[in-house]
Amino acid sequence: MDSKKTLFVSDLDGTLMRSNEKLSDYTISTVNELVRQGLDFTYATARSVESARAITGDLELKLPVITRNGAVLADNTTGKHLKKSVFTKEEVELLKMMLPEISSCGFVSCFIDNGIMIRTYMPGEHTAGLQGYIDYYENDPTLREANDLNELYCGLPGYVTMIGEREKIAPIYEKAKEYKGWESMFQKDTYRDEFWLEICPQNCTKAKTILKLKEQLGYEKLVVFGDSLNDISMFRIADEAYAVSNAIDELKQIATGVIGSNEEDAVVKFLKEQFNNPSL
């Protein structure tokens, strides 16, 4: 492996995870063994740490994990939020004004008592994508129905998510991205046909958060893995960037190389080869 102190960062959905939205036993055991041997590895995802840990809870990671596309740094073992970014009061008012469609297709991630994160949505008729999300988490106490906009954006709002068909969500994205004080990301879901618009505070991208982590912890080199549009920013700032074979073409075009698919545990096989071969 390269003698430079190297930080390895992988996307989750469609990259480290298989298409059944799980980590294989091989991935879990191999990552844990490599971390015990000294590999500096973490993941970066659009998921909340609460959602991610339902999948990654058996990973024994020493580094903070990058969640909500960079808006929240968290401890994968405990789920504790180590650092979070939130919208300003002025931005919350702007979101209320700019996104009247949120009642039918979106929810807001808000930090309340002692940093607990809840997700709030409005009652009524929803897009199939949002309703599917609500149904999936129907027994999760952190998903709550709001009575009005003030309750929707309660506490300290830090993330807005809107889910639906492209025809519904794309125009909202075009409107949201005009404001440069926050980050807007729009892409197709990894596993389903629906599209997601995600809005988070300014400078909260995977790339910017990874660069801060790299600098703070003194890494000399950055190697990343991904499959989708929201991985492009971290590919552009990495020393080496590897796309899984199931990645979108736009990502493959800027990748250092293309490895196997997420179904083949390609990321951890690559990591194992790198770590055990000093000439690489």
Mean pLDDT, to the nearest integer, of 123-131? 96
Query: Which CATH class, in words, describes the domain spanning 6-84+205-276?
Result: alpha beta
Q: Long-range pairs for 103-107 at CB < 8 Å and ≥24 separation?
A: 104/130, 104/164, 105/129, 105/130, 105/162, 105/163, 105/164, 105/168, 105/169, 105/172, 106/130, 106/160, 106/161, 106/162, 106/163, 106/197, 107/133, 107/143, 107/160, 107/161
CATH topology of domain 89-201: 3.30.1240
Mean pLDDT, to the nearest integer, of 214-243? 94
Tokens describing residue 95: 């979101």
pLDDT at 279: 46
- What is the CB neighbour count within 10 angstroms for residue 253? 11
Query: What span, in angstroms and rounded, lies between the C-alpha atoms of 73 and 269?
Result: 26
pLDDT at 182: 94
Percent pLDDT > 90 in the chain is 81
Does the pLDDT value for residue 44 go beyond 90? yes
What is the torsion angle, in degrees rounded to the nearest 10, for the CA atoms of residue 135, residue 138, residue 144 and residue 145? 50
Of 6-15, 46-55, 92-101, 146-155, where does mean pLDDT reach its minimum?
A: 46-55
pLDDT at 280: 42
Query: What span, in angstroms and rounded, lies between the C-alpha atoms of 73 and 58?
Result: 18
Q: What is the mean pLDDT of the chain?
A: 93
Residue 214: helix, strand or coil by DSSP?
A: helix
User: Residue 69 has what DSSP assignment?
Assistant: G
Task: Check if the beta carbon of residue 199 is closer than 8 Å to that of residue 69.
Answer: no
Does the pLDDT value for residue 189 go beyond 80? yes
Mean pLDDT, to the nearest integer, of 106-113? 94
Mean pLDDT, to the nearest integer, of 29-53? 94
Does the pLDDT value for residue 217 go beyond 70? yes
Same fold? 6-84+205-276, 89-201: no
Residue 200: helix, strand or coil by DSSP?
A: strand
Of 76-80, 96-100, 219-223, 272-276, where does mean pLDDT reach its minimum?
A: 272-276
What number of CA atoms fall less than 13 Å from residue 33's CA on the CB side? Answer: 12
Tokens describing residue 2: 């390269």
- If one compares 1 and 44, the residue with the highest pLDDT of the two is 44
